[in-house]
Amino acid sequence: MSADRPDLAPLIDHALLDPHHGSSAVRQCCEEARHFGFAGVCVASRWVASAREQLPLEGKGASPQLIAVVGFPFGAVPAAVKLAEAVAAAEAGADELDVVPDFGALADRQSTPIHDELAAICELGLPVKVILEVGRLDPDALALLVEISIDAGARFLKSGSGFGPAVTVDHIEQLRQLARGRAAIKASGGIANLEQALALVEAGATRLGTSRGVALAQAMRG
């Protein structure tokens, strides 16, 4: 690894969000995260309990954070259902929550339902990252959603779910300018290679959400 570039492994949230994978893939994902020293493992709420068994809170070495997605990938469920999913994930052992907001309310410029939904989840006490889909929002909608998210208590602004346009340096720069230091930034969705990952970090990302974490870590070591 070159001395003039950051070590990416401690920034990577190792994602396993393909719904067609089962328990063996969850186990492998957790093993890879522990081996490479990734920041976290990001899974569907359905797999939190299984992943928690692989990422013990006590034991040898620092364990990656266990991250559950909530309302994933589109956020188009009632607020009560989303909160129930967040509660279930927290009770199953999640350390952090990556939450998809109500984009329908955003399209109607209804701030209160978005804020109340996110605030209720933030009140659970776990760090929350709000998934913004930067590549699909116009500037006014993005600015509004950033303000709502931060006001509701979000710790991170996450660029996308992976179901929209791939993250770009411009997306991260937009989020950094809008956040003004009030929330950290997670780049996610379509991180394809080492050069792109390094550029996103240079632009201001402090977490990288990707299913290609192993390839990135190996490229760093190569």
Taking the CA atoms of residue 162, residue 164, residue 170 and residue 176 in that order, the dihedral angle to the nearest 10 degrees is -60
Orientation angle between helical segments 213-221 and 194-203, nearest 10 degrees: 90
Give 209's strand partners: 13, 188
DSSP state of 8: -
Q: Which of 95, 98, 102, 129 is catalytic?
A: 98
From the list 218, 215, 217, 212, the residue with the least C-alpha distance to 18 is 212
158 as an active site residue: the answer is yes
151 as an active site residue: the answer is no
140 as an active site residue: the answer is no
Beta strands in 104-150 (DSSP E): 128-131
Cα 192 to chain centroid, rounded: 17
Q: Is the dihedral of CA 122, 88, 27, 21 positive or negative?
A: negative
Q: Which of 13, 95, 102, 158 is catalytic?
A: 158
φ, ψ of residue 117 in degrees (nearest 5):
-65, -50
DSSP state of 10: G
- As annotated, the active-site residues are 98, 158, 186
